[in-house]
Structure 1
Amino acid sequence: MKDGLYSAPQKDIRFVLREVLEVERTLARHAPAAAIDNETLDQIIEGADRFCHGELAPLNATGDQQGCVLKDGKVSTPDGFRAAYEIYAASGWPGLCAKEEDGGQALPMMASAILGEMLSGSNISWALYPRLSEGAYRCIVANAPADLRKLYAPKLATGQWTGTMCLTEPGAGTDLGLLRTQAAPAGDGGYLLNGTKIFISSGEHDLTENIVHLVLARLPGAPAGTRGVSLFLVPKRLPDAEGRPGEFNQVFCDAIEDKLGLHGNATCVLRFEGARGYLLGEPDKGLAAMFVMMNSARLGTGAQALGLNEWGYQKSLAYAQERLQSRSPVKPKSAGYGPDPIVCQPDVRRMLLTQKVWAESARMFLYWIALQIDLDLHGNEEGLRREARDLLALLTPVAKAFVSDNAVESVSLAMQVHGGSGYVTDTGIEQTFRDVRILPIYEGTNGVQANDLLARKVLPDDGARLKRLLAMIERQDQAWADMPAMAPFLAPLSSLAQRTQTLLPGLLDAAVRDPLRFSSCATDFLRIVGHLVYGYFWCRAAHAALTKLPDGDAFRSEKLAAARFYFEHLFVEVEMRIARLSASADSIMEPAALECR
C-alpha cells in the first residue's frame, strides 16, 4: 500500500502466474492460440497497477461521498469518473481479451482476471461500469446475428459504449420465470419492449455516448416460466446508418437506488416504454443465451471480492503495524510498560492471517479459473477442453459464493483490527465493508449458488464432474507423496477428498429420499467443495515454494507459513460442515421454530 492508497500485490500475483500455475508454459503447451509470455504478463500487471493506483484509487472515497445524481432522467457520475474512463478506453483496457477483428487485443482470459482484481480493489464502484461490458460483448459475439454483431461488438470492445444485464424485475428476482416484460414484434424484424427492470448496475451514466442493454423479456404467446424467456439487445440510443448514436430509444431511468454501498455506481430502475430491441439467439431460449453473460458476472463477482479482500487486508495490516496499544504477550516484564504495535497480539495476527490467506487462496483459484476458460476455448485436445468445461461448470458457483462469503468475513475482520477507528469514516474501511456486502447477494444469492452446485452440477451427472476434481487432487497427492515436507499439506486434503467420495452416494440418494435435507445442506456442501479447491491450491503453492524458491528466501518462508495457517486454522471448518451434511432438516422446517411472537 503506497500513499495510503490501493496498490496491487505484484509479487504474489507473479508467484501465482509463474510458479503456481505456470501460465506461460501451460498455454504454450496446451493452448498455443492463447499463449502469452511472462514479459507481456508483467506489462499488464505493471500497467494495470499504475492506472488503478494513480487514477482510480484516489477517486474511491470521493466517489462514495458524492454518489451519483439523477436529474431529468440523466445520471451524473462522481467527479473524476468520466476522465478516468476516457483514459481507460484510450489505453485499450476494455478490449484486452476481445477479438482483433473487433478492435481488441485477443489476449487470454488471464489478462482480464488480473485487471479485474485490481480495478475492484482500487475502486469497485467505477469498475462496474466497464466490467459488465466485457460480459455483454461475449454474449453478443456468441448469440447475435452477423449484422448486429458487426455493429455492436466493436463498440463494446473498444469502450466507446458500455453494456448492462437487465434481468431483475419487481417480484421477479432469482425466479426469472416470473418476469413480465413484454416484447412485441414491430413488423420489420425488430421488437418493441415494455416493462420495468430494477437493480440494474450502470444502467444510466455519463461515461459513454451509448449504453447497450441486454434484456430478458417475453414474446407474445410464450410458454410460462423460464421456457418462455427470450433475450433482446436494446440500445439506449438507436444507431444511425453510420453507427453513431441517434434517436433516444425510450429507455427511461426512473430512479437510482439509495443503497448501503457502491455509491459511485448508478444502480437503476429502468423503464422500457416501446423501446426497440433485437432478438439475440432463439425465441424462448433467452436464459441459455444470457448465461454467457451471467456466468461472466458470477466470475466477475469473485474478482470483485478478491479485490476488496486484498484492499481491506492492506489497510488493516498497515494499521496494525502502526497502532501502539498494550504489551506484546512475549515481551519481558522487565522491559517496562511501553505499548507495542497491535500486530504483536496473537488474536490480531489471527485476523490478519485470515484476511491474507483468503485473498491469496482466491487469487490462485480465480486465476486458475481464467486458465480453464482459455483451455476450454483454445485447448488443442478435446479431452482437455472437456475437462476444463466440466470443471468450469462445477466451480463457477463456488467462485462466486465461496470467494464472496470469505471476502465479507475478511473485510469485517479488517474493520475489527481497526477497532473503533474502523467504524468511523476517517479510515475508509467502513466504506469497504459497505461495498463488499452486496457481493453474496447479487448475480444470484449465495444460497442459490449452493443449490446450483449441488442440484444442477453434481446431482444430474451422479457426481461425474465432482469426481474430476477429486481425481485431480488424487493425481497431485500421488505425484508428491514422496516429499516428506509436503505431508502436512497433502494429508488433510487427501483425507477430505476420500471422505467426500464416500459421502457422495448418500447425499445423492437424499435428493430422492429426503429432499428437504438435500436442499438444506447445499451451503455446507459448497463450503466443503470450496475447501477442496483451496486445499488443492495451497498444496501447489507449498510445493512451488519448496521447489522453486531458494532456502532462506523470505517469500518462501511466508508462503509455507500461510499454507500451514490455512490447513491448521481455516481448512478445519470442513469438520463442522461434514457433520451438518447428515443432520436432519426437521429443526429447520419445523413450523413452530419460526412462530410469530
Structure 2
Amino acid sequence: MQFVLHELLNVEAELKSMPKHADLDADTINQVLEEAGKFCSEVVFPLNQSGDREGCTYEGNGVVKTPAGFRQAYRQYIEAGWPALGCDPEFGGQGLPAFVNNALYEMLNSANQAWTMYPGLSHGAYECLHEHGTPEQKSTYLPKLVSGEWTGTMCLTEPHCGTDLGILRTKAEPNPDGSFALTGMKIFISSGEHDMAENIVHLVLARLPGAPMGTKGISLFIVPKFVPDSNGAVGERNTIKCGSIEHKMGIHGNATCVMNLDGARGWLVGEANKGLNAMFVMMNAARLGVGMQGLGLTEVAYQNSLVYAKERLQMRALTGPKAPEKAADPIIVHPDVRRMLLTQKAYAEAGRAFTYWAALNIDKELSHADEATRREAADFVALLTPVIKAFLTDNAFEGTNLAMQIYGGHGFISEWGMEQYVRDARINMIYEGTNSIQALDLLGRKILGDMGAKLKRFGKLVSDFVEQEGVKPEMQEFINPLADIGEKVQKLTMEIGMKAMQNPDEVGAAAVPYLRTVGHLVFSYFWARMARVALDRADSGDAFYTAKLATARFYFARLLPETAATIRAARAGAKPMMDYDEALF
C-alpha cells in the first residue's frame, strides 16, 4: 500500500495542488493506515467466520439481530472516529482525502466484507446528502452519519424491478407539513435493519403524483427509521419496517432486507422527478465500494493461499526433491500452484494501483486548484467506475476460487474459510448493477456516448507513457505489450461503434468482453508503471522490487493474453446470439 501511495502515485506531492490537503504528509497517512490495519485485524477480522456461521436473525415485528460481536465492533469503530475519516470537517469529519478512506476500506473488506457493508453504505448516504441535501437536511443528518451514530441505506430495488428503475412503483404523496407519505415495498436492501446504530437513514426512490413515466419521474426521499425531533435526536418510530431478511449464498453477516413502507414520512432530496441524478452520487460511490470489496477479497484470498502453499506437503517437484528432509515438498514448488498464486497476486496489486489512482482522481476532482485538472479527473472517474466495479469483482471471484483450489479438499470445508470468500465474492458481480450492466454503461454511455472523448483522454496517459519509456531497452518487455493493447482497444472501439450505428444490439453483444479488454489495458498501464518504479529501485537490494518486476512479467506473459479471446469475442457481434430463434431455446 505504501509502495502505491508514495512511490507510484507520489500522493504527498499531488496533495500540494489541493489547498485543503496541502499540509498532509506521508508520515501522517502511514500512521492512520497502520492504526486502521490494527483495527481491521484485531477487531473486525475475528468476526468474519463466526458472523458467517451465525448470520443475521429476523426476530419479528421489524427487528433484526446481527451476529455476536458485530455491534460491539461497530461501537469501537465509531469511538475511534473511523466513520469520520474522509468526511467534511464542517459536519464533524476529519477531512482526510478520499484515497486514505479508500485504503481503509480495502483493509476492512479483506477483514470482513459483511460487517463493512454497514459503515460503507452509510458513507454513501453521507456523500449523497452532502451534495444534494438542503441546509436543514445536512445539519440534521450529516453530523450523525459522520459520527457513525446513525447508519444509512439506499432503497432502490422492488420485486418487479432491479436495474430498470424506470418501472418502480413506490408512491410518495404530499403531506400538509411539507413531508411526504411513502408507500411501497423495497427488496434486497443491504443493512436495511439491524441493532448496531440508534437510527437508520434510508434514501428511498419513489414517484410523486402525476410524475412522468420512466426514470424522468423518480424522486429521492430521506425516510428515517426514527423521525428526528426538534433537537435532532431520535424521535417517533416511522412506518418503514423490515418485513423479512433474505437467506443468501454469502455475506450472511449483513442483513439483506425486505423493507415495507406504509405511509412512511419522508422528505424530498433535491428536485422533484430528478431523484436518480441525486441517487447516482450514492450509486457511483457504491460501485467504487464494491470494486474495493473485490480487491479486499482478492488480497485476503492470496494471503491465505500463500501461507497454505508454503506449508502443505504434497508430492515431489518434477525437477527433484526440494525438501528432501520432509515426506514431500510444499505445493508451492509446483508450476500450476505458482500460476494460481501469481494470478491472485497480479490481480490484487494492479487492482490496488488502479483503485488508489481512481480515489486520488476523486480528490483532484473535488479539491484541485486547477479547473482543467478537476475536469480531467472527473472524466477519468466517470469512465473507469464501471471497470473498477466489474473487472475487479470478476477477478476476485477467480482469485477466491483459486484459493479454494490451492487448498484442495480443505478449500471446500467451511472451517478453513476459503469457501466463504468464494460465496462472499459472488454477490459483488451482481449487486449495484450487474457486471453486464457495468459493461453496457462503459461501452454505450461512457465511450460511444461521447464519441470516445473520455477514452481518448485515458489513452493519452498511456501513449505519453509509451513515448516516454519506449526508447529505454530495460522497459521494452513492458512497453511493447502496453502499446499493442492500447492500439487494439482503439481499433476495437471504432469497429464496434461503426457496427452499432447500423444495429444497437452490437453494443450489447460486445460489451462484456469489451470491458475485460479495457480492464486489461488499464492493468497493463499500471503494471508498466510499477515496473518502471521497481527498475529504478533495483539496485537497493530490496527483494520487494525484485518480486514486483517478476509479478509484472507474469502478468504480461500469462494474464494479458486473455485479450486475444476477449477481442475476438467482442468482434463476433450480435449475429450468433440474436439470429438464434427463441423457439429453439
Alignment of 1:278-317 (within 5 A): 278-317=267-306
Alignment of 1:39-58 (within 5 A): 39-58=27-46
Q: Which residue of 2 aligns with 1:403?
A: 392
Residues 1:176 and 2:162 are matched in the alignment: no
Conserved? CA contact 1:587–1:593, under 8 Å: no
Q: Which residue of 1 aligns with 2:460?
A: 471
Specify which of 183, 204, 220 is matched with residue 215 of structure 1.
Answer: 204
Q: Which residue of 2 aligns with 1:10?
A: none
Specify which of 27, 31, 34 is matched with residue 21 of structure 2.
Answer: 34
Q: Which residue of 1 aligns with 2:374?
A: 385
Conserved? CA contact 1:517–1:583, under 8 Å: no
Task: Note the C-alpha offset of 1:224.
Answer: 0.5
Change over 3 Å in CA distance of 1:131–1:594 after alignment to 2:
farther
Task: Note the C-alpha offset of 1:200.
Answer: 0.4
Conserved? CA contact 1:19–1:548, under 8 Å: no
Task: Note the C-alpha offset of 1:593.
Answer: 7.4
SS of the residue corresponding to residue 205 of structure 2 reads: strand
SS of the residue corresponding to residue 107 of structure 1 reads: coil
Conserved? CA contact 2:470–2:480, under 8 Å: no
Report Cα offsets for 1:304-336 as digits up to 9, x if no partner: 111111111111111111100000112169969
Residues 1:237 and 2:226 are matched in the alignment: yes
SS of the residue corresponding to residue 203 of structure 1 reads: coil
Residues 1:516 and 2:505 are matched in the alignment: yes
Residues 1:490 and 2:479 are matched in the alignment: yes
In structure 2, C-alpha distance between the alignment counterparts of 1:384 and 1:549, rounded to whole Å: 33
Structure 1 stretch displaced more, 331-340 or 555-564:
331-340
In structure 1, C-alpha distance between the alignment counterparts of 2:302 and 2:10, rounded to whole Å: 26
Change over 3 Å in CA distance of 1:185–1:335 after alignment to 2:
closer
Conserved? CA contact 1:255–1:268, under 8 Å: yes
AA aligned to 2:112 is N
Structure 1 stretch displaced more, 33-42 or 414-423:
33-42
Q: Which residue of 2 aligns with 1:68?
A: 56
In structure 2, C-alpha distance between the alignment counterparts of 1:184 and 1:492, rounded to whole Å: 58
SS of the residue corresponding to residue 475 of structure 1 reads: helix
Conserved? CA contact 1:97–1:108, under 8 Å: yes
In structure 2, C-alpha distance between the alignment counterparts of 1:130 and 1:41, rounded to whole Å: 21
SS of the residue corresponding to residue 521 of structure 1 reads: helix
In structure 2, C-alpha distance between the alignment counterparts of 1:247 and 1:550, rounded to whole Å: 66
Task: Note the C-alpha offset of 1:514.
Answer: 2.7
Structure 1 stretch displaced more, 587-596 or 457-466:
587-596
Residues 1:14 and 2:2 are matched in the alignment: yes
Conserved? CA contact 2:316–2:322, under 8 Å: no
Specify which of 310, 315, 331 is matched with residue 326 of structure 1.
Answer: 315
Q: Which residue of 1 aligns with 2:521?
A: 532
In structure 1, C-alpha distance between the alignment counterparts of 2:324 and 2:306, rounded to whole Å: 25
SS of the residue corresponding to residue 250 of structure 2 reads: coil
Q: Which residue of 2 aligns with 1:591?
A: 580
In structure 1, C-alpha distance between the alignment counterparts of 2:33 and 2:169, rounded to whole Å: 44
In structure 1, C-alpha distance between the alignment counterparts of 2:441 and 2:477, rounded to whole Å: 33
Change over 3 Å in CA distance of 1:144–1:337 after alignment to 2:
closer
Specify which of 194, 204, 215 is matched with residue 193 of structure 2.
Answer: 204
CA RMSD of aligned residues (A): 1.4
Report Cα offsets for 1:165-200 as digits up to 9, x if no partner: 000000110100010000000021110100000000
In structure 2, C-alpha distance between the alignment counterparts of 1:280 and 1:431, rounded to whole Å: 38
In structure 1, C-alpha distance between the alignment counterparts of 2:108 and 2:56, rounded to whole Å: 19
Report Cα offsets for 1:422-442 as digits up to 9, x if no partner: 001121111111111100000
Report Cα offsets for 1:443-482 as digits up to 9, x if no partner: 0000000000011001121101000111100111112223
Report Cα offsets for 1:381-407 as digits up to 9, x if no partner: 111111101111100000100000000
Q: Which residue of 2 aligns with 1:80?
A: 69
Conserved? CA contact 1:64–1:263, under 8 Å: yes
In structure 1, C-alpha distance between the alignment counterparts of 2:543 and 2:323, rounded to whole Å: 31
In structure 2, C-alpha distance between the alignment counterparts of 1:440 and 1:230, rounded to whole Å: 27
Conserved? CA contact 1:492–1:567, under 8 Å: yes
Alignment of 1:78-477 (within 5 A): 78-331=67-320, 338-477=327-466
Conserved? CA contact 1:524–1:577, under 8 Å: yes
Change over 3 Å in CA distance of 1:280–1:561 after alignment to 2:
same
Change over 3 Å in CA distance of 1:79–1:482 after alignment to 2:
same
SS of the residue corresponding to residue 449 of structure 2 reads: coil
In structure 2, C-alpha distance between the alignment counterparts of 1:163 and 1:271, rounded to whole Å: 16
TM-score by length of 2: 0.98
Equivalent pairs: percent with the same residue?
51
Change over 3 Å in CA distance of 1:337–1:60 after alignment to 2:
closer
AA aligned to 2:546 is S
Specify which of 549, 552, 555 is matched with residue 544 of structure 2.
Answer: 555
Conserved? CA contact 2:125–2:282, under 8 Å: yes
Task: Note the C-alpha offset of 1:509.
Answer: 1.4
Task: Note the C-alpha offset of 1:549.
Answer: 4.9
Change over 3 Å in CA distance of 1:333–1:196 after alignment to 2:
closer
AA aligned to 2:545 is R
Q: Could you list the runs of 5+ residues in structure 2 that have no partner in the other structure?
A: none
Report Cα offsets for 1:12-67 as digits up to 9, x if no partner: x1111111111111121x32323431111111211111001000111111111111
Structure 1 stretch displaced more, 327-336 or 160-169:
327-336
Change over 3 Å in CA distance of 1:337–1:379 after alignment to 2:
closer
In structure 1, C-alpha distance between the alignment counterparts of 2:545 and 2:295, rounded to whole Å: 22
Report Cα offsets for 1:313-365 as digits up to 9, x if no partner: 11111111110000011216996994100010000000010011111111001
In structure 2, C-alpha distance between the alignment counterparts of 1:487 and 1:495, rounded to whole Å: 12
Conserved? CA contact 1:219–1:229, under 8 Å: yes
In structure 1, C-alpha distance between the alignment counterparts of 2:408 and 2:532, rounded to whole Å: 37
In structure 2, C-alpha distance between the alignment counterparts of 1:552 and 1:403, rounded to whole Å: 32
In structure 1, C-alpha distance between the alignment counterparts of 2:358 and 2:204, rounded to whole Å: 27
In structure 2, C-alpha distance between the alignment counterparts of 1:23 and 1:234, rounded to whole Å: 39
Change over 3 Å in CA distance of 1:579–1:151 after alignment to 2:
same
SS of the residue corresponding to residue 591 of structure 1 reads: coil
Task: Note the C-alpha offset of 1:504.
Answer: 2.6
In structure 1, C-alpha distance between the alignment counterparts of 2:323 and 2:544, rounded to whole Å: 34
AA aligned to 1:534 is F
Task: Note the C-alpha offset of 1:373.
Answer: 0.1
SS of the residue corresponding to residue 241 of structure 2 reads: strand
Report Cα offsets for 1:220-258 as digits up to 9, x if no partner: 000001010000000000111111111100011100000
Change over 3 Å in CA distance of 1:337–1:319 after alignment to 2:
closer
Change over 3 Å in CA distance of 1:284–1:547 after alignment to 2:
same
In structure 2, C-alpha distance between the alignment counterparts of 1:441 and 1:106, rounded to whole Å: 32
Task: Note the C-alpha offset of 1:594.
Answer: 7.2
Task: Note the C-alpha offset of 1:499.
Answer: 2.2
In structure 2, C-alpha distance between the alignment counterparts of 1:551 and 1:209, rounded to whole Å: 53
In structure 2, C-alpha distance between the alignment counterparts of 1:170 and 1:447, rounded to whole Å: 20
Task: Note the C-alpha offset of 1:574.
Answer: 1.1
Specify which of 480, 495, 512 is matched with residue 469 of structure 2.
Answer: 480
Q: Which residue of 2 aligns with 1:3?
A: none
